[in-house]
Amino acid sequence: MTSMDIHQILEHLPHRYPFLLVDRVLEVVPGERIKALKNVTFNEPFFPGHYPHHPVMPGVLIIEALAQAAAILSFRTMGNKPDGKSVYYFVGIDGARFRRPVTPGDQLILEVSIVTTKRGIWKYAAQAKVDGQIAAEAELMCTLQNSK
C-alpha cells in the first residue's frame, strides 16, 4: 500500500486543470484497489454555472473523478505510465447512482476496486463518499488504446 502526491498523480494522468479531479492518492494496492481524494472548493470552474444559488458538483464530474482514480490504479497495476501514444478511454458505465449532493467544502473520497480485466477491458466497482456516506457509485469500464 502506497500513497501518491500531486506530482506522482500528474505522472500517471494526462489530465490538467481544470479537468484533473484527483488531488491525492491515500492508498493504492496494484491489482486490487485505490483510495484517493478530491478536495471540492468553491473555486471549481463549474460552480458559477451549475446551480449558482445552491452549488452542487455535477454527477458526471464525480464519475469522471472515479474514472481518473481507476486509470491511476490501472497504470500502477500494469507498472507503467501514460506515454503520449495511448489514451485511457471510458467504454461503459453501469448502475450509476447518486445518493447525496457534493458541495463546496466537501472532501470526496474515491474508492475503486478492480472487478475483472478481459480482452483489454478493465471493469471496476467504484464509490465516491463524503463523510463516510456514499455520494455516488457505479460500475466503470475502461480500456487503453493507441491513439492515432
Residues recognised as catalytic: 50
Q: 88: how many CB neighbours lie within 10 A of its CB?
A: 20
**How far apart, in whole angstroms, are the C-alpha atoms of residue 67 and residue 135?**
15
Ramachandran class of 69: left when φ > 0, alpha when ψ lies in -120 to 50, beta otherwise: alpha
Question: Is residue 138 packed enough to be buried (19+ CB in 10 Å), middle (13-18) or exposed (0-12)?
Answer: buried
Retrieve residue 91's grid coordinates. 467504454
Angle of CA points 120, 125, 130, to nearest 5°? 140
Return the number of other C-beta atoms located less than 10 Å from residue 89's C-beta: 13
Task: Please report, as a single letter, which amino acid is at residue 123.
Answer: K
